Amino acid sequence: MCTSGPTRFDGSLEEVFDLQDQVASSVAGVIEPTLRKAEFERVSRKPTESLDAYDLCLRALALRDYRSAESVYEAIGLLKQALVIDPGYASAKALVGWFRANETAHGRSPVSEADAAEAVALAKEALDVGKDDPDTLSMGAFTLSFFGEERDVAATAIDRALALNPNSAQAWMVCGLVRSYSGQPDPAIEAYRQAMRLSPLDRLGRVLTAGIALAHMVAGRYEASADWAERTLRQAPGHTVSLLGKAVACAHLGRLEEARAAVSQLLELQPWFTIAWFKASATRYPAELRARYIAGLRKARVPEE
């Protein structure tokens, strides 16, 4: 039987404020991805020719869930259309790098030096004008970190994004990547876990679990890296980054049958994948991490050329 009346809380004033912060974070984590999803779906129903720069940017964002080269190139095209309409649009500039990074996972050819340089330049411009926008700061930091440019600037940008919005699952996700590429695997894992706590049903959940796998790889914890890669593959079969990570981790563990099975799946999806291709597409990886991948790929018998 329910009873009415005021709810009592026995505790110190500091505990009350802690509880308030926890509730606020939980609510924000549920609402943020829900609103984002609803907005993406609304925008995707509108005819492309009637969209302004804002809608073009949101249409590009909606393509983040599609793991294909075609979706990557379509998104970049939409963002460039947005920049024709508004050359100073910081969000569109910042997002170009996200999709260029995805091109390394889904495109047949490695990202060209010119395209990578353009993405980095746009990210720097975005950071200059988007200092009070946590989403712009996050995506700009992601681009600089992924493409190996000024990772100290990326770290500063993501710290500011989190100061502006500590309840942003996206910012925590990018923080994980920035920390991993800076050789800080344990802070990276905590950042990814915080993103999961804030947004447990996020449609980009595969990015979080794959990020934890990468952080364990950076730390040389191959067993944990393989486990998290497998977890990602259960929710996103055919996730090429996780097939690659699983192959490398298992190879270093001496689980060569599993490593070669993962390579076989990877080659079905990307028949062009070779060690030479990986070297060309991973030139901006931290040197030690890149060497670790290459050694694992050789153990897994990935073709050299």
Query: Residue 283: which CATH number?
Result: 1.25.40.10
Sequence-ordered list of residues with C-beta below 8 angstroms from that of 41, at least 6 positions apart, any chain? 62
- Residues above pLDDT 70, as percent of the chain: 83
Encoded tokens for 106: 């889904």
Select the more confidently predicted residue: 234 or 282: 234
For residue 146, is it within any domain? no
pLDDT at residue 109, as a whole number: 82
For residue 211, is it within any domain? yes
pLDDT at residue 18, as a whole number: 60
To which residue do tokens 């600089």 refer? 144
Dmax over Cα atoms in the chain, in whole Å? 73
pLDDT tens per residue, range 206-233 = 999 999 999 999 999 999 999 999 999 9
For residue 6, is it within any domain? no
To which residue do tokens 């712009």 refer? 136
pLDDT at residue 40, as a whole number: 44
Which residue type does 54 have? Y
Encoded tokens for 111: 């990202």
pLDDT tens per residue, range 106-128 = 778 888 899 999 999 999 999 99
Mean pLDDT on 288-303 = 96
- The closest of 117, 130, 202 to 168, measured between CA atoms, is 202
For residue 251, is it within any domain? yes
For residue 94, is it within any domain? no
Number of separate domains in the chain: 1
For residue 96, is it within any domain? no
pTM: 0.81
pLDDT at residue 118, as a whole number: 95
pLDDT tens per residue, range 237-249 = 999 999 999 999 9
pLDDT at residue 11, as a whole number: 55
For residue 264, is it within any domain? yes
Which range of residues forms the domain containing residue 224? 204-305
Mean pLDDT on 37-54 = 48
Which residue type does 43 have? V
For residue 121, is it within any domain? no
